[in-house]
């Protein structure tokens, strides 16, 4: 699946709530999000107006690894069909 090119950090943070992630702290322009589903897992998301594709891919890969899902399934659940 091709990743969207116009996702902001805020959009991604809202979308990740579907996986049980909640903002646990903010330092400068970065959000730290945590989920307790399937064990504790933390990710850091920059609050930029448009995330770089590599940054988005890395966050999705981390979420996919934690939930033991294919990265494409995570992207589809967060952003819908391309």
Residue 17 falls inside a structural domain: yes
Residue 24 falls inside a structural domain: yes
Residue 82: per-residue pLDDT: 64
Q: What is the CATH number of the domain that holds 60?
A: 3.30.920.30
Instruction: Provide the number of structural domains found in the chain.
Output: 1
- In the β-sheet with 41-46, what is the strand arrangement from edge to edge? 22-27, 30-35, 41-46
**29 closest CA partner among 47, 13, 14:** 47
Residue 4 falls inside a structural domain: no
Q: What is the pLDDT of the chain when averaged over all its residues? A: 94
**11 closest CA partner among 79, 80, 82:** 79
Tokens 């952003």 found at: 79
Residue 76 falls inside a structural domain: no
Half-sphere exposure of 11 (CA within 13 A, CB side): 12
Which structural domain, as residue segments, surrounds residue 23?
A: 9-68
Residue 81 falls inside a structural domain: no
Percent of the chain at pLDDT above 90?
A: 88
Q: Name the phi and psi angles at 45, rounded to 5.
A: -125, 125
Could you report the per-residue pLDDT of 67-82, keeping only the tens digit for each? 999 999 999 999 988 6
Residue 75 falls inside a structural domain: no
Q: What is the distance between the alpha carbons of residues 49 and 41, in angstroms, rounded to a whole number? A: 24
């Amino acid at each position: 699946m091709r990743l969207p090119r116009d996702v902001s950090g805020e959009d991604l943070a809202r979308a990740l709530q579907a996986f049980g992630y909640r903002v646990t702290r903010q330092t400068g322009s970065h959000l730290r999000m945590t989920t307790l589903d399937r064990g504790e897992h933390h990710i850091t998301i920059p609050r930029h107006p448009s995330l770089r594709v590599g940054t988005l891919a890395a966050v999705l890969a981390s979420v996919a690894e934690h939930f033991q899902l294919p990265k494409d399934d995570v992207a589809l659940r967060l952003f819908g069909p391309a």
